[in-house]
Amino acid sequence: MRRKLAAGNWKMNGTAAALAEIEALIAAHPAPAADILVCPPATLIHRAAKLAGGSAVAIGGQDCHAEASGAHTGDISAEMLRDAGASHVILGHSERRADHGERDEDVRAKARRAMESGLIAVICVGESLAEREAANTLDIIGGQLSGSVPDMATGENLVIAYEPIWAIGTGRVPTTDQIGEVHGFIRARLERRFGAGVGRSVRLLYGGSVKPGNAAGIFAVPDVDGALVGGASLKAEDFSPIIAALEAA
């Protein structure tokens, strides 16, 4: 049985005042039937983790470096995230792949480091609109999976987020059939590479314009074990009904 996961990616949003949203989530979900994760900007991780300590809300980072320490100005290591109180880290988000030129091999090296440091890596994969329109979606996802996921992955240290780039922040959402096709493909690929035990235990999240109004339909799709939520995770009043829909799924 895979436990469901509702993950929020705050991206480059939020100052100290936003910690009140985490407080509200903690109050609204004291004993949830799904895991809850909030990934605030790095500046808030330590304060968020202190606030959420002992609650059902876990705190994660949005990226980490592949090295433990060194001359990498502006970067954060997996060890530093752990030290600040994070339990998860998002890796290979399409915005990092686009803005920072991250390739699959970079994501894989970061994920290895994150797992070695005791973090759960939430590795993002997803096709562009042009790739979908050219009927290349499964090839792209297959390549990203084999390139980005390290051999040491298990159901405990890996979560995969399928995030079609054209659905992120756009209000456009794939059909449930399209989501189901990609999630089924990812599941089959993981089972083929890691064996049925590990392959079936990795949680698969859908991400891209998940809102309170469409969450239940998405969560009813087979092999959707939760969501990675951007915009709608910034306010507890939006994220909370998404969590509730996941708990009810």
User: Which parts of this chain interact with ligand PEP (CB under 6 A)?
Assistant: 9, 163, 168-169, 207-210, 228-232
Q: Which is nearer to ligand PEP, 144 or 199 (CB)?
A: 144
Question: 214-217: long-range contacts at Cβ-Cβ below 8 A with a sequence spacing of 24 or more?
Answer: 214/173, 215/241, 215/242, 215/245, 215/246, 216/245, 216/248, 216/249, 217/176
CA angle 132, 243, 201 (to 5 degrees): 65
Q: Which is nearer to ligand PEP, 12 or 71 (CB)?
A: 12
| Token reading at 186 | 């990812």
Whether 93 is a known active-site residue: answer yes
Q: Which is nearer to ligand PEP, 79 or 163 (CB)?
A: 163
CA distances (Å), origin 235, targets 33, 39, 80, 228: 20, 13, 27, 14
Among the listed residues 79, 102, 127, 163, the single catalytic one is 163
We find the least distance from the C-beta atom of residue 4 to ligand PEP, in angstroms, to be 16
| Token reading at 72 | 């990498």
Whether 163 is a known active-site residue: answer yes
We find the least distance from the C-beta atom of residue 33 to ligand PEP, in angstroms, to be 22
Q: Which residue is closest to ligand PEP by CB?
A: 230
Residue 18 exposed, middle or buried by CB count within 10 Å (0-12, 13-18, 19+):
middle
Beta-ladder partners of 123: 91, 160
We find the least distance from the C-beta atom of residue 11 to ligand PEP, in angstroms, to be 6
Cα–Cα distance for residue pair 89/166, rounded to 1 Å: 23
Q: Which is nearer to ligand PEP, 202 or 229 (CB)?
A: 229
Q: Which residue has the tokens 């992120």?
A: 168
Strands 5-9 and 158-162 turn out to be unpaired
Among the listed residues 29, 65, 88, 93, the single catalytic one is 93
In 54-201, the DSSP E strands lie at 57-61, 88-91, 120-125, 158-162
We find the least distance from the C-beta atom of residue 170 to ligand PEP, in angstroms, to be 7
We find the least distance from the C-beta atom of residue 234 to ligand PEP, in angstroms, to be 9
Q: Which is nearer to ligand PEP, 191 or 238 (CB)?
A: 238
Which residues are identified as catalytic?
93, 163
